[in-house]
Amino acid sequence: MGFSRREFMQVLAVASATGMALDHKDVLAAKPGAGDRLYDVPTFGNVSFLHFTDCHAQLTPIYFREPNVNLGVADALGKPPHLVGERLLRHFNIKPGTAQAHAFTYLDFAQAARTYGKVGGFAHLATLVKQLKASRPNALLLDGGDTWQGSATSLWTNGQDMVDACKLLGVNMMTSPSACRKSWKRT
């Protein structure tokens, strides 16, 4: 099971309520060095898990646009994580036109993409993992899935490029569909 960005926001809210406060106004500002403090998270307890999910075989940074529809049915209709656009911003009290608004909504995508640039990529992920493991040397790195599909290179290599990237990244555990397990066994 992986987290959507909206579910991640809920987890951050719970973490903040339990004492792991992040000053999101400073951290998510569009100014040099602001992003460096985003993952300056204090250790908590004696076990650390680092988790990523849904990279969709994107080894290099991309322009990512959040969907403008996320249907919830029955009791889930109109509730997180099934909120998009302005409703999501209002619900989580996120100011329009900010890096947070760009990360979690499709609103003003073209302008926000010019302002904030591309996201993701394994070079960024490797830097982040290295930074976090420096203060948590025994942390386990978990991959929540959707790793081996989604790019041309992954298709052409039958997922081997992503297997190799995950091995270099130091992934300890991962979920995988049965079709992809074959690729992992090859190496």
The greatest distance separating any two alpha carbons of the chain, rounded to the nearest whole angstrom, comes to 48
Task: Give residue 9's pLDDT.
Answer: 56
The pTM of this model reads 0.64
Give pLDDT, residue 36. 60
Note the pLDDT of residue 149.
Answer: 87
Ranges of the chain whose pLDDT falls below 70: 1-38, 176-187
User: What's the pLDDT at 12?
Assistant: 53
Residue 6 is predicted with a pLDDT of 59
The pLDDT of residue 34 is 58
Q: Looking at residue 145, what is its pLDDT?
A: 87
Residue 106's pLDDT is 93
pLDDT of 120: 83
What pLDDT sits at residue 20? 44
pLDDT value of residue 169: 94
The backbone torsions φ and ψ at residue 15, rounded to the nearest 5 degrees and listed phi first, read: -60, -40
pLDDT in tens, 16-58: 443 444 444 444 444 556 556 667 778 888 889 999 988 889 9
